[in-house]
Amino acid sequence: MNPFRHLIVHFKKERSLFAMGVAALLTVDFAQQLLPQLLKLAIDELQNAGPGPAAARAALAGVLLWAGLQLAVVALQGALRWGWRMGFFGMSRKVEYALRRQLFEKLLTMHPAFFRKLRLGDLLSRAMSDLAAVRESLGFGWMTLIDGVTMVCFTIVFMVRANALLTAQILAPMLLIPVLVVTLGRKVRENQRAAQDLLDALSQAATESFSGARVIHAYARQESEIERFGRACLAYRARSMRLVVVEAVYWPLLWVLAGSSELLLMHYGGLLLGLPPGKAMSVGGFVMFQAYLAQITWPVMALGFSSNSYVKGRVSIGRLNEVYDAEPAVTGPLQAAPEPSTRQDTVLSFINVHGGYDAAPDVLRGVSFTVRPGEWVGLASRLGGGKTTLLRLAPRLEDARLGEVRLWGRDVRAWPLKALRRRIALVAQEPFLFSETVLENITFSYDGDPQDRFAEAVEAARIADLHEMVAGLPQGYATLLGEKGVNLSGGQKQRLALARAIFARPDLLLLDDAFSAVDTATEERIAPALRTALPGVAVLMVSHRVSTLRLCDRVVVLEDGRVAADGTPDELLQQEGYFFEMARREFLARRVGLET
């Protein structure tokens, strides 16, 4: 497969910019060839001037003419240089924008399993440095390639036309420059890359120490943290020094090669200057040669740079392709069949469901039960018993390996994803809040301006027992959360996540231990309010507390990946089993004064 396939699509849209860049660059490079010629004409004018003030004036007029022409050429070049910058760099920025957008859109459709494989840092480096490398190889890479080839060809043609033998004599060292750039240049890049990786590790170590500062203090681990950080610094320094050494050889060597050509010109050109009159090269001719030589040095290096930048860009686009070409593991049907009737007696049903993660054995091994409209079903199991896994199957954050999950009687895989997820709200075990305002966090499921839904948001916050707290914040619902805003307590976060779910007006509300950080009294306030506010909404809630589970109509207990008990809380309390155990432990804990 062509590694550039995604790139080409976006590149084609910008081809007029690119064509403009090429045209401007070619013109600049051609005009550049005229400058040494004009220089030669001006100097020859002086050399050939006869004696006497009249001749001097004539020579001066000639020099002024050539100088004026040079000025005109340079002015034209200035304008055209702006053109090629806009062309090449503008094109590369636009393609980068399109690629970045495509990347972001792709990531939004990806399945959680994908994010388990690719780590966050990895994704970020693709989004930042790989995209930058692609942009560079597009803008800078194309520019240096085209500039290098045309400048070298044009210049050599003009030099050969002036003196073929001299050209051959002086250009040999120059030809080694691209070889050097490619070989030693690779060493430079390897070291740069290794140094970059070590710097990443260093900032990773620092970030972790800072965010874990409290734990580090609590365990008095400062010394060992300092030592760990010191080691990372030393590794980075060692690698950076190697880079310095390689670069200290690389750049001077480049200029030595360029200088050798200059030296050869002094020697062979000098011999030509010294020939008897008639055969000798004019001073103007010599100066012109020198000007050509000077202007070819950079393009010869540029050819090497462009090959490096191509290699870098190719590696990066390959890494990006891995994301672009990843298949979203979960896809819904594109054609929306008419949605099933909501006048049924089951909202959610699990039918012999098996499920698990990646290559690990099944966590769920044949779970079957149903949830009816308006019914509250509690879900209990030991730690790691598969409760979260089960909840994730309903909105298809994960798919069942075997069996079926149905919403309103239809297999969830037959629902268009958007429609399915609009009907289900999940409050995750670890609530996630965005660094936005309280209002924006609550109205997250709404596409329009959050302000339009202010009343509903307040209502949802009231139900979640959050309104008073929010009203007490300095800017109320407009208060920013997170990083640079207010930080909420665990229980407040949970209630905010709950308000977000209530606001979404789902048919099915999934609460994954959503009251774990809320005390029993608050929970007992929220639950009835939730019931009255959301009549007919089915609730499936995970909890580790009997007091919470007793609020439910039914409780399902999972053991060994299967349903071990299913009944009203009172029924389950009459039976030996996990629920009874939980209740006994909680009761004992209360007796000894350990509020759970």
Per CB under 6 A, residues contacting ligand ATP are 116, 357, 360, 363, 381, 383-389, 429
**Binding to Mg ion in span 507-526, by CB under 5 A:** none
- For ligand ATP, the closer CB: 30 or 357: 357
- Residue 594, contacted partner among Mg ion, ligand ATP, none, CB below 5-8 A by kind: none
Helix (H) or strand (E) holding 191: helix 142-211
Between CA 455 and CA 457, with CA 456 as vertex, the angle to 5 degrees is 90
Which range binds Mg ion by CB under 5 A, 214-222, 380-388, 430-438, 450-458?
A: 380-388
- Give the interface size with Mg ion as a residue count (CB under 5 A): 2
Q: Please list, residue by residue across 234-264, b when 16 or more beta carbons sit within 10 angstroms of its beta carbon and e when fewer do.
A: ebbeebbeebeebeeebeeebeebbeebbeb
- For ligand ATP, the closer CB: 29 or 398: 398
Distance CA 503, CA 497 (A): 10
- For Mg ion, the closer CB: 282 or 429: 429
Q: How many helices (H) and strands (E) does the chain have?
A: 21, 10
- Residue 389, contacted partner among Mg ion, ligand ATP, none, CB below 5-8 A by kind: ligand ATP
- For ligand ATP, the closer CB: 251 or 357: 357
- Residue 309, contacted partner among ligand ATP, Mg ion, none, CB below 5-8 A by kind: none
- Residue 21, contacted partner among ligand ATP, Mg ion, none, CB below 5-8 A by kind: none
- Residue 357, contacted partner among Mg ion, ligand ATP, none, CB below 5-8 A by kind: ligand ATP
- For ligand ATP, the closer CB: 301 or 380: 380
Q: How far is the CB of 111 from ligand ATP (least distance, A)?
A: 12
Q: How far is the CB of 388 from ligand ATP (least distance, A)?
A: 3
Q: Are 305 and 88 within 8 A, CB to CB?
A: no
- For Mg ion, the closer CB: 140 or 515: 515
Q: Which residue is nearest to Mg ion (CB)?
A: 388
Q: How far is the CB of 579 from Mg ion (least distance, A)?
A: 17
Distance CA 90, CA 82 (A): 11
Q: How far is the CB of 296 from ligand ATP (least distance, A)?
A: 59
Give SS3 for 487: coil
- For Mg ion, the closer CB: 303 or 427: 427
Which range binds Mg ion by CB under 5 A, 169-177, 285-293, 298-306, 385-393?
A: 385-393
Between CA 449 and CA 454, with CA 452 as vertex, the angle to 5 degrees is 110
Q: Are 520 and 526 within 8 A, CB to CB?
A: no
Q: How far is the CB of 379 from ligand ATP (least distance, A)?
A: 8
Distance CA 233, CA 535 (A): 60
**Binding to Mg ion in span 411-450, by CB under 5 A:** 429
Q: How far is the CB of 513 from Mg ion (least distance, A)?
A: 6
Helix (H) or strand (E) holding 90: helix 53-109
Distance CA 64, CA 42 (A): 8
| Lookup: tokens for 534 | 């959301």
- Residue 148, contacted partner among ligand ATP, Mg ion, none, CB below 5-8 A by kind: none
Between CA 481 and CA 489, with CA 487 as vertex, the angle to 5 degrees is 125
Phi, psi (5° rounding) for residue 376?
A: -110, 120
Q: How far is the CB of 385 from ligand ATP (least distance, A)?
A: 4
* Closest listed residue to residue 514, CA positions, set 448, 456, 592, 431: 431
- For ligand ATP, the closer CB: 12 or 116: 116
Q: How far is the CB of 342 from ligand ATP (least distance, A)?
A: 28
Give Cβ neighbours of residue 521 (< 8 Å, ≥ 6 apart): none
Phi, psi (5° rounding) for residue 345?
A: -95, 5
- For ligand ATP, the closer CB: 388 or 548: 388
Q: Are 108 and 326 within 8 A, CB to CB?
A: no
Distance CA 590, CA 588 (A): 5
Q: What is the DSSP letter of 544?
A: S
Determine if 388 is a binding residue for Mg ion (CB under 5 A).
yes
- For Mg ion, the closer CB: 191 or 543: 543
- Residue 77, contacted partner among ligand ATP, Mg ion, none, CB below 5-8 A by kind: none
Give SS3 for 484: coil
Burial of 324 by CB count in 10 Å (0-12 exposed, 13-18 middle, 19+ buried)? middle
- Residue 554, contacted partner among Mg ion, ligand ATP, none, CB below 5-8 A by kind: none
- Residue 92, contacted partner among Mg ion, ligand ATP, none, CB below 5-8 A by kind: none
Q: How far is the CB of 503 from ligand ATP (least distance, A)?
A: 25
Residues forming the site for Mg ion (CB under 5 A) = 388, 429
